[in-house]
Amino acid sequence: ARLVVLVSGSGTNLQALLDAIAADPDGYGARIVAVGADRDAIAGLDRAERAGLPTFVRRVKDYPTRDDWDRALAEATAAYRPDLVISAGFMKIVGQEFLARFGGRTVNTHPALLPSFPGAHGVRDALAYGAKVTGCTVHFVDDGVDTGPIIAQGVVEVRNEDDESALHERVKEVERSLLVEVVGRLARHGYRIEGRKVRVGDVG
């Protein structure tokens, strides 16, 4: 399967996918064909360039309207003919144009146990709420914010001494391995989305 990965920051989820594919290029079942971002000069783009991958940047502020940006992002992504788009730490909400082309095959990773703590500060919100466990969710993107059908989740204990960055780092350890496992399974075994349920593998 051809993957386009979208990033907005450090790109450690992207790096986990790159490392898993490099470790087993034939067996993993997918390869990254391009990396896209909503901003320049982020470590995620450096990681892509170090891996010799094509990259593209589409910044919201460069477009007259949000829809124009959404269309530009969709067109840049479509140029690489992805089978799956992986939003790995991508911090923008894609719109109708993008979903028209890639809905049902765009996977997002979120650092909380959805439906709890959606949005841009899932780790901070779980900590502030006093949750005893949190974790990460890998899900398909729909037209909501972190509301699409859940594929897999991983649980992380919250410790009394945790601050946001310590907890986020522990969540990201689980998140990276969950994302690598899920993307490989989707690529190798196929999947079907039935309402809110996702069935991976054994699909005709």
Catalytic annotation present for 139: no
Contact call for residue 134 and ligand GRF (CB under 6 A): no
Does residue 10 touch ligand GRF according to CB under 6 A? yes
Q: Reply yes or no: is the peptide bond before residue 115 cis, omega within 30 of 0.
A: yes
| Residue whose CB is less far from ligand GRF, 138 or 198 | 138
The one segment of 29-37, 52-60, 105-113, 142-150 that binds ligand GRF by CB under 6 A: 105-113
Sheet with 106-110, strands from edge to edge, namely: 55-57, 31-37, 2-7, 84-87, 106-110, 133-140, 150-157
Separate counts of helices (H) and strands (E) for the chain: 6, 9
Q: Look at residues 136, 180, 131 and name the one whose alpha carbon lies nearest to residue 5.
A: 180
Q: Is 110 in the site for ligand GRF (CB under 6 A)?
A: yes
Q: Does 135 bind ligand GRF (CB under 6 A)?
A: no
- Under the binding rule (CB under 6 A), the answer on residue 36 touching ligand GRF is no
Closest CA to 122 of 94, 144, 106, 146: 146
* 106 scored as a contact of ligand GRF (CB under 6 A): no
Q: Which two tokens stand for residue 77?
A: 């992504």
Closest to 57 in 3D by CA, of 39, 32, 74 = 39
Q: Largest Cα–Cα distance of the chain, in whole Å?
A: 49
Which of 55/109 has CB closer to ligand GRF? 109
- Distance separating alpha carbons of residues 6 and 28, to the nearest angstrom: 19
Q: Is 119 labelled a binding residue?
A: no
Nearest CB to ligand GRF, comparing residues 5 and 187? 5
184 touches ligand GRF by CB under 6 A: no
Closer to ligand GRF by Cβ: residue 122 or 184? 122
Q: Spell out, one character per residue from 44 to 73, where the chain touches ligand GRF: x when CB under 6 A holds, - when not.
A: x-----------------------------
Q: Which residues bind ligand GRF (CB under 6 A)?
A: 7, 9-13, 44, 88-89, 109-111, 172, 175
